[in-house]
Amino acid sequence: MGAIFDVDAKVKRIVEIDRQIADSAFWEATEEAHGVLKERTALLDVVERWKGIKKELEDGAILLQLAEEEGDEREIEGVRGKLDQLEKQIRDIELREMLGEQHDSDNAIVSINAGAGGTEAQDWAEMLLRMYLKWAEKRGYRSEIIDILTGEEAGIKNVTFTVSGDYAYGYIKAEIGIHRLVRISPFDTGRRRHTSFASVFVYPEISEEIAVEIDEADLRIDTFRSSGAGGQHVNKTDSAVRITHIPTGIVAQCQNERSQHKNKAMAMKVLRSKIYEKQLQEKAEKMKELYASKKEIAWGSQIRSYIMHPYKMVKDHRTGVTMGDVEGILDGNLDPFIEAYLWDYSGWAGGKGQEKT
């Protein structure tokens, strides 16, 4: 299986990079050096993980043989359990190998916007926020809410937060699109069924080494008091900052920090990421593809449906993956959907849109 991950080629490339690093001229081009070092770290991670898995597989084979010779069923089951864990680790490495686009290994900036429907949609947007924060926690990622606008009665109108960790953007970019909820409304005294929509957009967090030219004259910077009810999501401050890039109309804001200086710095980071993403899409002529889901947040445009009545089911309309554990999914168990998306849309899978359960 080492051939599947092309381990020999990765080891050879690491040796080449080490030779580059030993040359004093290597450090003169800072941006290029950063990219090469990042590549080395990613290659080394796969190689070291594979070495560990290979050793455990070899040890497991020996233990299984001994257990079978002695007829020790308990030990056999233990070895089988370990093999299941190793299989999951191998699959994880395979998924990492798929995440080879330029910013897949970066942190992510996520925005959730409630669709039409007032309190219903706003409550759904907050449920999605909780789902993603739980997902990030389960994966060992760090998340931070940097801007939030709460609803008048319940829920949130929109929120922007960061997800930090290895390949955070590569994984959560699978969630870009419109999400649909069908349930008996807790806000309807008639206990009628309602359908709500919310949109999710994801941007890679751009590192300082990548140059994004922004003319200060093209910026409008406004300060304001943090809006909404506050509570668990936002600190009450007088130093919230909104930055508008006038030529493109792109807006970024932050109200999470207590310092106006820190809020401005974070808002600029989000703005740079959004502008950079827009530039990349324009150059690649893929703007239409990325923002296709920015049409009306309504029927026929959803990537996934979460149905809580009259039956319980979550279905991803892109991959066909269907699961019945709605509560578990809303509690952050999103990996089956994300992994299926990566398999189907990375070019590794044999086909798209196949029905899976």
Q: Which of 44-48, 71-75, 195-199, 269-273 has the highest mean pLDDT?
A: 195-199
Task: Give the pLDDT band of residue 76 (cuts 50, 70, 90).
Answer: confident
Does the structure show a pLDDT above 70 at 44? yes
d(CA 324, CA 311): 9
Report the phi/psi class of residue 230: left, alpha or beta, with left for phi > 0 and alpha for psi in -120 to 50.
left
| Span 203-223, pLDDT tens digits | 988 766 566 778 888 999 998
* Residue closest to 317 by CA, chosen among 333, 299, 290, 291: 299
**Who's near 53: CB < 8 A, 6+ residues apart?**
86, 89, 90, 93
Is a pLDDT exceeding 60 seen at residue 186? yes
- Element holding 158 (H helix, E strand): strand 156-164
What mean pLDDT is reported for the chain? Answer: 83
Asked whether the predicted pLDDT for residue 72 surpasses 70, the reply is yes
Which residue would you say has higher pLDDT here, 212 or 265?
Answer: 265
Read off the pLDDT of residues 292-329 as tens digits, 9 standing for 90 and up. 444 455 555 789 999 998 899 999 999 999 999 999 99
Reported as a pLDDT band with limits 50, 70 and 90, residue 287 is: very low
Pairing of strands 177-184, 302-307: parallel
Q: According to the model, what pLDDT value does residue 355 have?
A: 39
Is 291's pLDDT higher than 50?
A: no
Calculate what percentage of the chain has a pLDDT beyond 90. 39
What's the pLDDT score for residue 144?
A: 94
Domains and CATH numbers, the chain: 7-98 (1.20.58.410), 108-309 (3.30.70.1660)
The per-residue pLDDT for range 79-124, each reduced to its tens digit, is 888 888 888 788 777 777 778 777 888 899 999 999 987 899 999 9
CA-to-CA separations, 271 to 87, 150, 217, 245, in angstroms, rounded: 40, 22, 15, 8
Residue with tokens 């709605």: 326
| Residue length of the chain | 357
Question: Is 37 strand, coil or helix?
Answer: helix
Residues sharing a CB contact under 8 Å with residue 16, sequence separation 6 or more, in sequence order: none
pTM for the full predicted model? 0.70
Question: What confidence tier does 5 reach under pLDDT thresholds 50, 70, 90?
Answer: low
Confidence of residue 59 (pLDDT cuts 50, 70, 90): confident
Number of alpha helices (DSSP H) and beta strands (DSSP E) in the chain: 9, 11
Backbone φ and ψ for 251, nearest 5 degrees, come out as -120, 140
